[in-house]
Structure formats: C-alpha cells, structure tokens
Amino acid sequence: MRIATWNVNSIKARLPNVLEWIAKTSPDVLCLQETKCQAHDFPALEFQSLGYQVEVIGQKSYNGVAILSKEKARDVMAGLPGDDLDEQARYIEATFGDIRVASIYLPNGNPVGTEKYPYKLRWMERLRLRTLDLLASEQAFVLAGDYNICPTDDDVYDPVGWREDALCRQESRDAFRSIVHLGLTDAFRVFHAEPHLYSFWDYQAGAWPKDNGLRIDHLLLSPQAADRLMGAEIDKGPRGQERASDHTPVWCEIGPA
C-alpha cells in the first residue's frame, strides 16, 4: 500500500497539479492538508472520476484535511480527541485494509510570543495521547501530514537563523520526540540518513531555486507498520510546477502483513 501526504496550500488552487500527480503515481491513500475550503466545497467529483473515495473535514479559507483512497474508508474519526472546544480542521483518521491512517495538519505556532505557540504545544500533547491509544490497539498505523516541525538541524537549511522559530524551537522538537519515542518510525529517515533533504520551500526570497528548504512533512509509523516498510521518498517534482504548493508530496510503501 502506497501512502502519501501533501500539504496542497488550497485544493482549489492546486487541483490540476494534484490530479496530475495522482494519475501519474496512483497512491492507494493520499492525505491532504491545508485544503482551505469547507467540506461541501471540496472538489470530490474530480477525484471520484479517478477512482478515489474522499473523506474530508474543512473550514472556510483556513486549515482543512482530507484522505483520498482507492478503497472506502472505515471507522472515520474527524478531529483530534482531547479538546471539545477546538474547532480547527486539522485531523482526520480512518482505516484502509489493515492499516489505520491519519492526515495531520499540526499548528504552525508562530508568532511564538502569541497564544498560537502554546496552542501548538497543547495540540502536540493531544496527539501524543492519541498515539498512545493507537499503540495500545497493536494495529499498523501511519500518522501522515504536515507537522510544522523540523526534527533536527539536518532538516532546515539555516539552523541558526531558524532556531527560535516555532518549527525549530527546542520545546517543539522535544514535543515531537516525545511522540516518536513512544515507538514510532520516521519512514523517510529509514532510507535517507543524509542531511538537508526537504519537503517545503517558501515562496519568498528564491527559496526553491536556492534549495533553502525545510523537512516538515512526515510519515510516522507504528512498529507493526514499520516492520512492513518497503520504501519512502520525497517527490520534489510537483514543487517545480507552475502554481505549485510550497510543499511537495512525501510517500511510503507498506508491504503486506
């Protein structure tokens, strides 16, 4: 099963690019983030015409996550448990075959001196608790998405310049490690230990041609999924297209049980 994640930075603006990538690569499950539209405005028919089922939660102009899949989703859960007052559309989870998959759009957290940063850290603690619940089920699962975290200095082009950013602050990295260290595997790093490979390049200051990027899109695997991991890559191709998202797809391949 090929599972991919892609922050599309507006599904309507990026629809031709996403349809082209799906037709070319044929992922079994594609997790999208920052769809930036309400669920009823999501262009589901275009994906259904390619043979994909659609599960989505959204909100107007901001956030939004979706899961596209070749087979129908089971046991869909919309929203991250732990805060009934949190209305931001950032988390959706479902089962495909014997694998549980979540599409995650973790809060950015900037500016650090505002409420946005404590919200990010609280959200990560909720994700850690959800991960504990998933691990207790002993099922294979993949937590896929835009984590807005550079796990180490190897994942950012300018570690010194970004040190106090919410994506690289030590508190953010500690919170990320507290999730990974429960027993998860960063799928991309299994096959790529080399530094400075990125999944995001800002639109400003020529970041893309200069390769001034960040690795903030991750696929974290449970032990049961990691045992079946066959490959993982960052596909830089879509970032070089016209009207590209500032993120590019990341995917992993999970073999049969």
Query: Per residue in 149-171, pLDDT tens?
Result: 999 999 999 999 999 999 999 99
pLDDT tens for 28-66 read 999 999 999 999 999 999 999 999 999 999 999 999 999
| Contact (Cβ atoms closer than 8 angstroms) between residue 241 and residue 9 | no
- Domain count of the fold of the chain: 1
Output the DSSP codes for 205-219: TTHHHHT-EE--EEE
Look at residue 205 in the predicted model and tell me its pLDDT.
Answer: 87
The mean pLDDT of 126-146, rounded to a whole number, is 98
User: Which CATH number belongs to the domain containing residue 69 in this structure?
Assistant: 3.60.10.10
Mean pLDDT within 172-187: 98
Q: Residue 51: helix, strand or coil by DSSP?
A: coil
Q: How far is CA 249 from the centre of its chain?
A: 9
List pLDDT tens digits, range 75-128. Answer: 999 999 999 999 999 999 999 999 999 999 999 999 999 999 999 999 999 999
Residue 240 structural domain: 2-254
pTM of the model: 0.98
Of 141, 144, 148, nearest to 228 (Cα)?
141
What type of residue is 70? K
Over 90: is that where the pLDDT of 13 sits? yes
The confidence score (pLDDT) of residue 114 equals: 98
Q: What is the pLDDT of residue 17?
A: 98
Tokens matching residue 174: 């500690």
What's the CA gap between 78 and 87, in Å, rounded?
11
Per-residue pLDDT, 99:
98
Considering Cα of 255, then 103, then 73, then 9, what sign does the dihedral take?
Answer: negative
183-205 pLDDT, tens per residue? 999 999 999 999 999 999 999 98
Mean pLDDT of 123-148: 98
